[in-house]
Amino acid sequence: MTAQIATLDDPVGSSLRGPHVDFAVCSGRVARYAPDVAPFASLGGPPDSDAWTGFADLGAGVLLLDPDLSIDLPEGWRTTWILLGVQMVDTGMATQPDEEAVQLGPADVPEMLDLVSRTRPGPFLLRTVELGSYLGIRRDGALIAMAGERMHPPGYTEISAVCTDPDHQGSGLASRLMRAVAHGIRGRGEVPILHASSTNHTAIRLYEKLGFAVRREFQFVGFERPTH
């Protein structure tokens, strides 16, 4: 297995052991993003008793697992939700800056959270904006579309939080912002990646049209630790 393949097989752990180490909280070999940054965690190895102990110490969270992996949960643990997803890798996207796009930061978080609540692109929390560059488009002062960077495995950056206000969907804003975000990623000599729900066929078709290809499937699984 090459280093690049291993990096993308565990994008959370690779990020937290690398470029995102400052956002990591750890217990043994288990690592997760700080709870107000992102819900994702990595067991850092097989799901054995040491992993579950470390995972519990960190408050549990969301794991990206191989869909064929069978897990026997320890007593008292339960899964809260499961979402089948795909990991996609840029294979030749045409990137370019966008003149209308503006940089978003901590002061914009209330508007970003509001847009996310209405469009549901995936987890976006109070400090997610700190993970990388986020770009937005405003009309009449209102934030109507955004996209940005989330996981950061060495050599790669995930494009995430791609969303457009329902009243402005279908006008190409998501594609424009993805090209602009990818332009910044490419400028660092890195490869854009993304994750999407397997059932979101519209989004996957858009990503394929832009130049992404499915690399592998994941299951996103939310876990809850024992309460006593």
4-8, 72-76, 162-166: least confident range = 4-8
Q: Where does the pLDDT of residue 1 fall: very low under 50, low under 70, confident under 90, or very high at 90 and above?
A: very low
For the segment 20-50, what is each residue's pLDDT rounded down to a tens digit?
999 999 999 999 999 999 999 999 998 999 9
DSSP 107: G
pLDDT at 2 over 70: no
Location of each CATH 3.40.630.30 domain in the chain: 89-216
pLDDT at position 4: 53
Match domain 89-216 to its CATH number in 3.40.630.30, 3.40.50.620, 3.90.1150.10, 1.10.530.10: 3.40.630.30
Question: pLDDT digits over 155-191, tens only?
Answer: 999 999 999 999 999 999 999 999 999 999 999 999 9
Q: pLDDT tens digits for 96-118? A: 999 999 999 999 999 999 999 99
Mean pLDDT across the chain, nearest whole number? 94
Q: Cα dist. 1→6, 9, 60, 68, 153 in Å? A: 7, 10, 29, 19, 16
Spatial neighbors of 170 by CB under 8 A, at least 6 apart, are none
Q: Is the pLDDT reported for residue 6 higher than 90?
A: no
- Torsion from C-alpha of 52, 57, 59, 65, nearest 10 degrees: -30
pLDDT value, residue 114: 98
Is a pLDDT exceeding 50 seen at residue 151?
A: yes
**Which residues face 42 on adjacent strands?**
31
pLDDT score recorded for residue 228: 65
pLDDT(11) > 90: yes
